[in-house]
Structure 1
Amino acid sequence: MTIKDGDFVLINYVISVKSGDREVVGDTNKEDVAKSAGIYDANRKYEPYLVVLGRSQVIKAIDEQLREMDVGQKREFVASPDKAYGPYRDDLVIRLPIKQLNRYGIPPVVGRRVEVGGRVGVIRSVTERFAYIDFNHPLAGKDLKVELEVVGKLETLEDKVKYLVTRYMPISRDLVTVSQSDAGKIELQLPQEILGLSDLESRLQLLMGDLSSLLEVKEVKLVVNVMLSQAQETKQTEGQAHQGSQQPEAQQEQA
Structure 2
Amino acid sequence: MAAKDGDTVRVHYTGTLNDGTVFDSSFGSDPIEFAIGDHMVIAGFENAVLGMEPGDTKSFTIASAEAYGEHDPRLVQDVPRAELPPEMIPQPGMRLTARGQDGSEIGLVITHVTDEAVRLDANHPLAGQDLTFEIQLVEIAA
Report the TM-score when normalising by structure 2: 0.86
Structure 1 ranges of 4+ moved more than 2 A: 94-97
Number of the residue aligned with 1:110: 92
Q: CA separation in 2, counterparts of 1:29 and 1:101?
A: 36
Q: Does 1:2 align with 2:2?
A: yes
Match of 1:27 among 11, 24, 28: 24
- Could you tell me the percent identity over the aligned residues? 30
Q: More strand per residue: 1 or 2? A: 2
Runs of at least 5 residues in structure 1 that lack an aligned partner in the other structure: 32-45, 156-255
Larger Rg: 1
Q: CA separation in 2, counterparts of 1:143 and 1:67?
A: 21
Q: CA separation in 2, counterparts of 1:64 and 1:75?
A: 12
CA contact (8 A) 1:77 1:145 kept: yes
Number of the residue aligned with 1:198: none
After TM superposition, list the pairs within 5 Å mapping 1:2-151 onto structure 2: 2-19=2-19, 23-31=20-28, 46-102=29-85, 106-117=88-99, 118-151=105-138
Aligned residues: 137
Q: Does 1:154 align with 2:137?
A: no
Q: Secondary structure at the match of 1:102?
A: coil
Shift of residue 26 of structure 1?
Answer: 0.9
CA contact (8 A) 1:18 1:24 kept: yes
Report the TM-score when normalising by structure 1: 0.50
Summarize the Cα distance change of 1:3–1:18 in structure 2 as closer, same or farther, 3 Å threshold: same
